[in-house]
């Protein structure tokens, strides 16, 4: 009985399980993959995969952190290149056909001279994108994600799940 009580406490306050819904993180995560997440002592870092309780979308989503507060993101939609603070990211995990669909961008961030989308991440926020870039509603559309909307960082994937995220 005591062991069950400890397990319930751990999965209530330390870890949570979620199930992936949608294709925005393919080929890293797939529909119905089940994940263990945690926010305990978590500080958002570039490259982390996180579950976000998006106020803008009124839905839970799963995305990869591309940049954190104070960093500058540049996205060339024609070449599908993403740079943070002037350095191109090595994104071998991205599912893309060589360019990004412009429908996933807010035109307010387009620099016509450079022909790139530019974002400067404000304090207390991060910039997130799905790995399946042409099938992901992310910071290019919904804007910056406040740290307090992060439900947790993905720790690992396993077989069974419960809560749905996209």
- Which residues carry out catalysis? 24, 63
Q: Are 37 and 51 in contact (CB under 8 A)?
A: yes
Helix (H, G, I), strand (E, B) or coil at 141: helix
- The helix (H) or strand (E) run that includes residue 4 is helix 2-13
**Whole-angstrom distance, CA of residue 40 vs CA of residue 42:** 5
Instruction: Work out the end-to-end distance of the chain between its first and last CA atoms, rounded to an integer number of angstroms.
Output: 35
Does the N-terminal peptide bond of residue 70 adopt cis geometry, omega within 30 degrees of 0? no
């Amino acid at each position: 009985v005591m062991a069950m009580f400890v397990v319930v406490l751990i999965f209530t306050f330390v870890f949570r399980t979620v199930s992936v819904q949608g294709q925005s993180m393919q080929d890293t995560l797939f529909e119905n993959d089940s994940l263990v997440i945690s926010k305990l002592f978590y500080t958002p870092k570039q490259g982390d995969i996180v579950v976000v309780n998006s106020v803008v979308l009124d839905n839970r989503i799963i995305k990869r952190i591309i940049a954190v507060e104070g960093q500058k993101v540049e996205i060339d939609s024609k070449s599908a290149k993403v740079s943070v603070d002037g350095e191109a990211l090595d994104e071998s995990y991205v599912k893309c056909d060589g360019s990004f669909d412009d429908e996933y961008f807010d035109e307010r961030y387009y620099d016509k001279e450079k022909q790139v989308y530019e974002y400067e991440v404000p304090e207390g926020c991060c910039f997130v994108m799905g790995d399946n870039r042409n099938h992901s509603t992310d910071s290019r559309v919904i804007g910056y994600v406040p740290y307090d909307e992060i439900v947790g960082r993905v720790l690992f994937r396993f077989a069974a799940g419960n809560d749905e995220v996209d």
